[in-house]
Amino acid sequence: MKKFSILMLFIFTAFLFITSAAISQDADTGTESDVNTTTEEVTTDNATTDNVTTDNVTTEDATTENAEKVFEKEEVQILKGKPRSFNDGYNTYVNDKVRFELFEIDNIMPDTKFYKIDDGADQKYTEPFTLSDEGAHVLYYYSIDKMGNKEMQKSLNVIVDKTAPEVIVVVKAPFAKTGETIYASDKFSYEYTISAKDNISGVAGISYAVAGEEHKEYVKPFAINSLEPVKIDVAAEDKVGNLTKKYLSKVIDENGNLLAESMDDVKITVDKTAPTVEIKGDKEFFKKENTLVASKDYKYTITAADTESGIKAIYYRVDNKSDFILYTGELMFNTNGMHKIEAIAKDGVGNISKTAVLDVFVDIIPADTNIKLVTE
């Protein structure tokens, strides 16, 4: 009996040991499975998040870079026809090539996505789409997963810009128009001013090229030395990539007067001849030896003549006492002694005459008459 009891105790102890080992192994196996499962889920989440983030960041960075730096090289970067976008902090501006893609971030069950444009009907999303109508739009979108969970509707303000900027080139020079003839000097340059206007996304940049040279960014007005207006190549781009090489032009004189609506209409006649200028008194001068003599009542006028571009202005100075000033009317002297009048004239294109000079002695002192007795 005692031996039997010892045998049963041994068997029971062995059973407990085997059972404990089995339970311990199952527990270890279950923990490892849970860890593996968790690791896979985290990896999947990270992969999904990385893909979404990478796609979005790549698109936005490329768009921002192109929007801020239109002309990366000396030549014009032709971007028309490529998808471009620009965001001003509230609205998203796009051209009609930009596609809108909806993607889900529900990793449990794929979503069914819907969208609508403005007040249109809801549409089931199947592939990226574009907006073709120019102007402001509101794009609404949401999704429903397979569990029936519907997200709140979201929206995006979008403005579609399909129109390139309007460009004007103004050519200014010291022109003079007499009748139908436009005169210019052979010693001047044309000043070119380029402006562009875009009423939707705004102007991103302007470039120009002269006589086959490489395009360069337009920053400020520039001059071209030539006897004729030079046609230039111009390119202007808005912030979503609409590019134009067309422009309107007009030709103006130094005072802003319009001379022609296009450089094609400008036929230049070069005026190389300076005007002539003359100073006259209103009475005939007396002469004493080689000196002209006048009274204080004399009035002096200055006249000028030019047979081509015409007289623009006459300038004068008196007795070397000042710089030349604009002549506006008759001159007079009321002090006794020698006086000098100098005058120059400028024609319509800037040619300046030789200086005309008049030296005159103004006699304003009466004679001192005496009497003497003659006895012989």
What confidence tens digit (pLDDT) does each residue in 196-213 have? 999 999 999 999 999 778
Q: CB of 139 within 8 A of CB of 159?
A: no
> How much is the average pLDDT of 5-12?
47
Residue 47 above 60 pLDDT?
A: no
Which of 108-112, 181-185, 334-338 has the lowest average pLDDT?
Answer: 108-112
102, with CB counted inside 10 A (0-12, 13-18, 19+), is middle
Closest CA to 96 of 199, 201, 197, 196: 201
pLDDT of residue 103: 86
Closest CA to 188 of 200, 203, 175, 207: 175
Sheet containing 135-145: order of strands: 85-87, 92-94, 154-160, 135-145, 111-117, 123-124
pLDDT of residue 81: 56
For 96-160, the fitting CATH number among 3.30.2310, 1.10.3720, 1.10.150, 2.60.40 is 2.60.40
Residue 141 vs residue 39, higher pLDDT: 141
Sheet containing 325-326: order of strands: 286-288, 291-294, 356-362, 337-347, 311-318, 325-326
pLDDT in tens, 359-372: 999 999 998 899 98
Q: CB of 277 within 8 A of CB of 345?
A: yes
pLDDT of residue 107: 63
Within the chain, how many helices (H) and strands (E) appear? Answer: 1, 28
216, with CB counted inside 10 A (0-12, 13-18, 19+), is middle
CA distances from 98 to 52, 87, 128, 131, 346 (A): 18, 13, 9, 8, 59
Residue 288 above 70 pLDDT?
A: yes
> How much is the average pLDDT of 315-343?
95
Domain boundaries 166-270, corresponding CATH code = 2.60.40
- Which residues of the chain does CATH 2.60.40.10 include? 276-362
Q: CB of 356 within 8 A of CB of 343?
A: yes
Closest CA to 240 of 61, 96, 77: 96
The band of 78, judged by pLDDT with boundaries at 50, 70 and 90, is very low
Q: What is the DSSP letter of 272?
A: -
pLDDT in tens, 125-181: 999 999 999 999 999 999 988 888 888 999 999 999 999 999 999 988 878 888 878
> How much is the average pLDDT of 274-281?
96
Residue 82 above 90 pLDDT?
A: no
Contacts of 111 (CB under 8 A, 6+ apart): 104, 143, 144, 145, 146
pTM above 0.85, yes or no: no
pLDDT of residue 321: 86
Which of 49-58, 109-118, 262-271, 320-329 has the lowest average pLDDT?
Answer: 49-58
Closest CA to 202 of 86, 98, 96: 86
Estimate the share of the chain in helix, then strand, then coil, as percent rounded to the nearest 5.
20, 40, 45
Element (H or E) spanning 34, and its range?
Answer: helix 2-68
Structure tokens belonging to residue 299: 């009035």
pLDDT of residue 63: 33
Distance CA 336, CA 358 (A): 16
Residue 21 above 50 pLDDT?
A: no
CA angle 99, 103, 105 (to 5 degrees): 155
Closest CA to 202 of 246, 168, 237: 237
Distance CA 304, CA 323 (A): 19
Residue 216 above 50 pLDDT?
A: yes
> 276-362 adopts what CATH topology?
Immunoglobulin-like (2.60.40)
Structure tokens belonging to residue 124: 């089931």
Which range, 169-173, 320-324, 329-333, has the best average confidence (pLDDT)?
Answer: 329-333
pLDDT of residue 179: 81
The band of 80, judged by pLDDT with boundaries at 50, 70 and 90, is very low
Average pLDDT of the chain?
A: 79
Q: CB of 255 within 8 A of CB of 174?
A: no
Q: Is 15 helix (H, G, I), strand (E, B) or coil?
A: helix
pLDDT of residue 145: 85
pLDDT of residue 303: 97
Residue 232 vs residue 315, higher pLDDT: 315
Q: What is the DSSP letter of 230?
A: P
The band of 225, judged by pLDDT with boundaries at 50, 70 and 90, is confident
Which of 70-79, 111-120, 257-266, 312-321 has the lowest average pLDDT?
Answer: 70-79
pLDDT in tens, 186-197: 777 889 999 999
pLDDT of residue 27: 38
pLDDT of residue 72: 36
